[in-house]
A and B are shown apart, each in its own frame.
Chain A
Amino acid sequence: MTLASPSDFQAPQQSSPDQGGPRGLQPEGWLRYLSFSLDHKVIGLQYMVCGFLFYFLGGALAGVIRTELASPISDFVSRETYNEVLTLHGTVMIFLWIVPVVNGAFGNYLIPFYVGARDMAFPRLNAVAFWLIPPAGILLISSYFIKGGAAQSGWTAYPPLSLTTPALGQVIWIISVLLLGGSSIFGGINFIATILKLRRPGLKMMQLPMYCWAMLGTSILVVLSTPVLAGTLILLSFDIIAHTGFFNPALGGNVVVYQHLFWFYSHPAVYIMVLPAFGLVSEILPVHARKPLFGYTTMVYSIIAIVVLGLVVWAHHMFTSGTPPWMRLFFTIATSFIAVPTGIKFFNWLATLWQGKIALNSAILFACAFIVNFVFGGITGVALAQVPFDIHVHDTYFVVGHFHYIVYGGTVFIIFSAVYHWYPKFTGRMLDEHLGRLHFLLTFIGFNLCFAPQHWLGLNGMPRRVAEYDPSFTTLNQVSSVGALMMAVSTLPFLINVVVSAFRGEVAGDNPWKALTPEWLTSSPPPVENWIGEAPLVTHPYGYGVPADRLDLQMVTAEQIWSDPKP
C-alpha cells in the first residue's frame, strides 16, 4: 500500500450531487432533511441549518439590544422587554446556536468519517437528539408571546430574581433548557461511544484527527456537567411552582448554592463551545497550510488538561458572591493554569503555519482571525481570573466584551471558517471566494468595532445587562452599535453565497483542497454508506509534505476507493 499523493485526488471520478439514493425507509431528496433521518450526514446538516436559523434570530435580538444601547436612556423597548430580549439572546445563542452547531452539526457530519464508520453508534438516539431542538427552541420563543412574557432573569436565571419575575415564562425557559440539555447529553453519549467503539479496525486513538479528541473531551464534559444543570433547574422550577425553598432565602434557601451548581455546568459549557472549535481549527489549518499539524501528542494532552481543569474553575464567576478567601485563591490558580494548555494549542497552530504554503482563502482568514480574537479574549480571561482584577470588572461590560471575544470571536469565526472549508463536501460545489472575503472583512471589522470598546466601558463603570447608562458612555456605545450593524450586514454576503452556490457554485470535485483526512477520500457529497467500498485506513491524517517512501503506513489510495463500481 502506498500513500495517496495529492495528485491522486484529481481522480476522474466525478459524482453527481444528487447521488446517494434511498436506503431503507429514508425519504429522498431535500425531504430527508425534514424527516426523522438516521443518516449522520443528514442529521449533521439538520443541526447546521436549524442552528443558523436560530443564529439569525439571536442576532436580531442582539440588534434590539444594540439599538436600545445606542442612546443612554431606555427609549426603544420597555425595560421588561429588554430583560426578556437579553435573556433570550443569551439562551438562543448558547443552547440553540453554538452548542448544537459546533458539536451536533460538525460532530455528526465528521466523526463517523474520522473513525472510519458508516454512521454514529446510536443512529436513532442521534435523530432523537436533533429533533428535541426545534420544539425546545419554538417553545422558548413562544414564551415571549404569552402573558407575562419570556424569562427576564438572564440566561443565568439567578434566584431570587428568577423566583420573582413572571413565573410562566421562567418555567418555560427551564423546560426548554432541560430539553436542550437532554439533547446535548444524548449527543455526548453518542460521540463517546462512536469514537471509542466504532473505530475502523487498525485505527489507533493516537492516529485520529484532532477533532475526534476535541469531541471526546467535549462529550465527557457534556455528560459529566449537564446533569448538574438539569438537577439545578428542576429544583429551581420546584421553587417557582411548588414554593419550595431550595434557593429562596425567605424559606431558608441559599441563593449562592444555586450559583455554584449553575456554574458547575456553565463554565464547562464554555469549553463545550470552544473545544470543538479548537478541534476544527486543527483540521482546517494543516489542509490550507499544506503542513502536518504541529505537535499532535501535546495537542492531545492539552485537550485532556483543559477538560480536567475546566471542571474545577467554576467559582471564578463568583468572586464577588461572598465566596470564602481560600476558595477565591484556589479558583484563581486553577483558572490561570488553564491558560497553559490553551497556550500550547495556539503556539502549535502558529508552528503549523510556519514554513507552510498558506492559501489565503476565506477558510484560513476566518481561522487566523479566530487566533487573533481568541488570544485577545484569552489574555483578558487570565486577567479576569485574578480576584482583585475581577472584583472591579465583574458583571460589567468588560466581561461582556471578554466572553464575546471567546464565543463569537473564537467559536463563531471557526464555524464560518468550517463552513467555507466543508461546504464543498456538503454540497459538491464551491463557495464564492469574493463574497467569502467580503463576508470575512465585514465580520472581522464589525466584530472588533462592536466588542473592543466594551472593555473600556466596563473598566470605567458600565455594568452589564442595563437598558440605560451614564451619558458619558454614549460615544463608545454608539461605536459598538455601529459594529453590531456591520456584523448584521456581514451575514448578507454569506447568506447569498451559501444559497446561490448550492445551485450555481463551481463544481468542487470530490477533494478540492487535496486534503488527507478521511471525509475527503470519498465523493462529494458522500454516499449514504460514506464509502462505496471499505473505509480507508488513514493513519496519518496530516501527512502533508511527506514523501510516500518515508511513511510506513497503510492507506488505501484514492483510486482504490473510487474505482469500486457504483451501484
Chain B
Amino acid sequence: MSDPAHLRGKCESNLNFLPEEAFESVVTSLPALISIGWAGFDPCPAAPPVPIPSALITLLLGMALVLAGLWVGYNVSLLPLDASSNAPVYDALFKVLFSIGTILFIGIVGLLIFSLVRFRRRSGDSGDGAAIEGNLPLEIVWTAIPAVVVLFVGIYSYDIYERMGGMTPLNDHGAMHASQPAGDHQHHSDSHGSNQAVLASSSSAPAAAEDQELGRVWGGIGVSTDEDETLTVDVTAMQFAFIFHYPDGNIVSGELHIPADRPVSLHMEARDVIHAFWVPQFRLKQDVIPGQPTLLSFTATRPGTYPIVCAELCGPYHGGMRSSVVVHEPAEFDAWLSKNTPPAPATVASSGSTPTA
C-alpha cells in the first residue's frame, strides 16, 4: 500500500503528545540499563574467565539497536491509506508499537543467536557449563524494563484511545438524537412487502432510535461532536449486506456515502446474527449486534472509495459481505443527497417514517 512521504509528515505532525518524548528517553536509556545488568552478571567470579561483553560494547550495540528499531518503526509502512481523522492517530501508535517491537525482537533474537553460536558445545567437550543459578539484580532489571515499557505503552494507547473518542460515555451521548425521528411506531406493523431489504432498514432504524431514547445504546466509539454538524446514518446489517438509511433525506442505499471533514455517526443494529462494520482505511471497527444497538462516530478526511468489510463470521457468505464507503467533497455530497432524496413519501418511505429533521 502506498504511503507517500507528505502523508507521513502529516501523521507525525499530529504527534505533539508527551509520551512521544518519554518514549524516546526510555528507549535510549535502555542500553545503559542493560549494560548495568551485564556488568552485574558475574555471579561466579571463581570460575574461569567468562566472555562477558564489556559495558561499552553493549552500550554501543544497544544504541544501534534502538536506532535501527526506530528507523524500522518510522520508515517501514505496513498500513493502508489513512482516510479518517483518527487514522493518523492510530498510525502514530502503530509506529511506536512497531519500533518497540522491533527493538525487543531483534534484541532478544540477536542475544539468542549469539548464545547459540558463542556457547555451542565444541566437539569432544562433555563438561558442564557454569553453575549460575540466578542473579537477583539482573532479574530486577528485566522485570522492571518490561513493566516500564508496558506501562508507557498502556498510558500512550489510553491517550490515543481517548483522542479517538473511545472513552466518551455513550449512554448520555446527546449528539445521537439530533436528527432522529422521534419514535415512529407505525412501521412495525407493515414491514412486509416486496422489497424486504428496504423495509427492513426503515423498520429497524427508528427502532434503534427508540432504544437510544431509552439509553440502550451501550457500546461503540463516539467522538463528542457538534450536534448540528453531525451526519447521522442508520446502519442495518443482515446476512449478507449492509443497508444504509439516511434520516436526513430518507435515502436507502447499499453503499455508504459520506462527506469529507464532517462528523458522521453510524447507528448500527443487526437483524439476524452478529456482523462487524470495518473500514481498514478508517482504522475503525465496530460489531453490529442483534438486539443491542451500537454506535460508531468518525470524520472522514480523504475523498475516495474504500471497502466496508464484515469482520465477524456471519454465515456461509461472510467473505462476500462487502460494501463500499464513498467519501465525497462536501459540495459533491450535498448534490448526491439531493439527487437521491425521494421526491415524496413514495416507494422507499412507504412505511411512513417521514423524516422530521
B30-44 interface code vs A (CB 8 A; 1 in, 0 out):
000000000001000
Tell me, in angstroms, the Cα distance from A354 to B51 when the chains sit together.
Answer: 10
Specify which of A79, A249, A455, A465 lies most central, judged by the most chain B CB atoms within 10 Å of its CB: A249
**Closest Cβ–Cβ distance, residue A448 to chain B (whole Å):** 12
A463 within 8 A of B: yes
B278-310 interface code vs A (CB 8 A; 1 in, 0 out):
101001111101111010000000000001011
- Of all chain B residues, the one with the shortest Cβ separation from A72 is B319
**Closest Cβ–Cβ distance, residue A90 to chain B (whole Å):** 11
B61 within 8 A of A: no
B193 within 8 A of A: no
**Closest Cβ–Cβ distance, residue B295 to chain A (whole Å):** 9
**Closest Cβ–Cβ distance, residue A454 to chain B (whole Å):** 12
**Cβ-defined contact, B313 with A322, below 8 A:** no
> Which residues in chain B, 307-325, are within 8 Å of chain A measured between CB atoms?
307, 309-320, 322
Q: Which of B135, B221, B284 contacts A351 (CB 8 A)?
A: B135
> Which residues in chain B, 110-144, are within 8 Å of chain A measured between CB atoms?
111-112, 115-116, 119-122, 125-135, 138-139, 142-143
A546 / chain B contacts, CB cutoff of 8 Å: 131
B218 within 8 A of A: yes
A563 within 8 A of B: no
Q: Which of A255, A295, A382 contacts B289 (CB 8 A)?
A: A255
Tell me, in angstroms, the Cα distance from A340 to B153 when the chains sit together.
Answer: 13
B179 within 8 A of A: no
Q: Which of B156-164, B244-252, B257-265 contacts A (4 or more CB under 8 A)?
A: B156-164
Q: Interface residues of B: mostly helix, strand, loop or mixed?
A: mixed
**Cβ-defined contact, B167 with A325, below 8 A:** yes
**Cβ-defined contact, B134 with A329, below 8 A:** no
B319 / chain A contacts, CB cutoff of 8 Å: 74, 79, 463, 465-469
B90 within 8 A of A: yes
Tell me, in angstroms, the Cα distance from A332 to B93 when the chains sit together.
Answer: 15
Q: Which of B20-28, B198-206, B268-276, B345-353 contacts A (4 or more CB under 8 A)?
A: B268-276
Tell me, in angstroms, the Cα distance from A255 to B275 when the chains sit together.
Answer: 12
- Of all chain B residues, the one with the shortest Cβ separation from A546 is B131
**Cβ-defined contact, A371 with B154, below 8 A:** no
> Which residues in chain A, 158-203, are within 8 Å of chain B measured between CB atoms?
158, 160-161, 164-165
**Closest Cβ–Cβ distance, residue B210 to chain A (whole Å):** 15
B101 within 8 A of A: yes
B80 / chain A contacts, CB cutoff of 8 Å: 459-461
Contact status of A372 and B101, CB under 8 A, knowing A321-B287, A343-B146: no
Tell me, in angstroms, the Cα distance from A321 to B218 when the chains sit together.
Answer: 10
**Cβ-defined contact, A395 with B276, below 8 A:** yes
A459 / chain B contacts, CB cutoff of 8 Å: 78-80, 280
**Cβ-defined contact, B285 with A391, below 8 A:** yes
A376-407 interface code vs B (CB 8 A; 1 in, 0 out):
10011011001111011011100000000000
A460-487 interface code vs B (CB 8 A; 1 in, 0 out):
1101111111100000000000000000
Q: Which of A250, A255, A340, A375 contacts B147 (CB 8 A)?
A: A340
**Closest Cβ–Cβ distance, residue B239 to chain A (whole Å):** 9
Q: Which of A51-59, A205-213, A357-365 contacts B (4 or more CB under 8 A)?
A: A357-365
B174 within 8 A of A: no
A414 within 8 A of B: no
**Cβ-defined contact, A295 with B161, below 8 A:** no
**Cβ-defined contact, A350 with B111, below 8 A:** yes
Contact status of A387 and B129, CB under 8 A, knowing A354-B119, A461-B80, A466-B319: no
Contact status of A466 and B318, CB under 8 A, knowing A291-B128, A325-B168, A357-B125: yes
**Cβ-defined contact, A290 with B127, below 8 A:** yes
Tell me, in angstroms, the Cα distance from A355 to B116 when the chains sit together.
Answer: 10
Tell me, in angstroms, the Cα distance from A162 to B8 when the chains sit together.
Answer: 43
A495-538 interface code vs B (CB 8 A; 1 in, 0 out):
00000000000000000000000000000000000000000000
**Cβ-defined contact, A332 with B158, below 8 A:** yes
B335 within 8 A of A: no
**Cβ-defined contact, B157 with A153, below 8 A:** no
**Cβ-defined contact, B290 with A160, below 8 A:** yes
Contact status of A355 and B154, CB under 8 A, knowing A154-B313, A463-B310: no
A368 within 8 A of B: yes
**Cβ-defined contact, B130 with A164, below 8 A:** no
A144 / chain B contacts, CB cutoff of 8 Å: none
**Cβ-defined contact, B150 with A337, below 8 A:** yes
- Of all chain A residues, the one with the shortest Cβ separation from B320 is A468
Contact status of A332 and B157, CB under 8 A, knowing A79-B316, A161-B313, A387-B166: yes
B181 within 8 A of A: no
**Closest Cβ–Cβ distance, residue B350 to chain A (whole Å):** 25
**Cβ-defined contact, A340 with B143, below 8 A:** yes
**Cβ-defined contact, A344 with B313, below 8 A:** no
A254 within 8 A of B: yes
> How big is chain B's contact interface, by range?
35 or more
B11 within 8 A of A: no
B219 within 8 A of A: yes
A210-229 interface code vs B (CB 8 A; 1 in, 0 out):
00000000000000000000
- Of all chain A residues, the one with the shortest Cβ separation from B157 is A386
Specify which of B80, B90, B146 lies most central, judged by the most chain A CB atoms within 10 Å of its CB: B146
Tell me, in angstroms, the Cα distance from A376 to B112 when the chains sit together.
Answer: 13
**Closest Cβ–Cβ distance, residue B101 to chain A (whole Å):** 4
Contact status of A322 and B116, CB under 8 A, knowing A294-B132, A344-B143: no
- Of all chain B residues, the one with the shortest Cβ separation from A252 is B291
B15 / chain A contacts, CB cutoff of 8 Å: none
Tell me, in angstroms, the Cα distance from A291 to B273 when the chains sit together.
Answer: 55
B218 / chain A contacts, CB cutoff of 8 Å: 322, 324
- Of all chain A residues, the one with the shortest Cβ separation from B283 is A392
A254 / chain B contacts, CB cutoff of 8 Å: 291-292
B122 / chain A contacts, CB cutoff of 8 Å: 357
B57 within 8 A of A: no
Q: Which of B79, B101, B161, B164 contacts A380 (CB 8 A)?
A: B101
B94 / chain A contacts, CB cutoff of 8 Å: 389
B273 / chain A contacts, CB cutoff of 8 Å: 158, 160-161, 164
B138 / chain A contacts, CB cutoff of 8 Å: 351
Contact status of A358 and B115, CB under 8 A, knowing A160-B273, A320-B276: yes
**Closest Cβ–Cβ distance, residue A161 to chain B (whole Å):** 4
**Closest Cβ–Cβ distance, residue B87 to chain A (whole Å):** 9
A545 / chain B contacts, CB cutoff of 8 Å: 127-131
**Closest Cβ–Cβ distance, residue B118 to chain A (whole Å):** 9
**Cβ-defined contact, A355 with B150, below 8 A:** no
A346 within 8 A of B: yes
B97 within 8 A of A: yes
**Cβ-defined contact, A328 with B280, below 8 A:** no
**Cβ-defined contact, A353 with B112, below 8 A:** yes
**Cβ-defined contact, B142 with A320, below 8 A:** no
A62 within 8 A of B: no
B79 / chain A contacts, CB cutoff of 8 Å: 459-460
A550-566 interface code vs B (CB 8 A; 1 in, 0 out):
10000000000000000
**Closest Cβ–Cβ distance, residue A293 to chain B (whole Å):** 8
Contact status of A347 and B1, CB under 8 A, knowing A6-B128, A357-B129: no
A302-332 interface code vs B (CB 8 A; 1 in, 0 out):
0000000000000000001111110011001
**Cβ-defined contact, A394 with B311, below 8 A:** yes
Q: Which of A82, A161, A368, A379 contacts B101 (CB 8 A)?
A: A379
A296 within 8 A of B: yes
Tell me, in angstroms, the Cα distance from A464 to B309 when the chains sit together.
Answer: 11
Tell me, in angstroms, the Cα distance from A253 to B274 when the chains sit together.
Answer: 14
B330 within 8 A of A: no
The 6 closest A-B pairs by CB, nearest first: A322-B219, A249-B291, A466-B319, A545-B128, A386-B157, A79-B316
Assuming A357-B122, A376-B105, A456-B78, what are 12 further A-B pairs, CB within 8 angstroms? Answer: A161-B274, A161-B314, A164-B272, A292-B131, A320-B287, A324-B219, A340-B146, A343-B146, A356-B119, A388-B160, A392-B283, A469-B319
23 A-B contacts (beta carbon < 8 Å): A158-B313, A250-B291, A255-B289, A289-B129, A291-B128, A292-B132, A322-B294, A323-B219, A325-B169, A329-B158, A350-B111, A351-B132, A355-B130, A359-B120, A379-B105, A382-B101, A386-B153, A386-B161, A387-B166, A391-B166, A396-B278, A465-B313, A545-B129
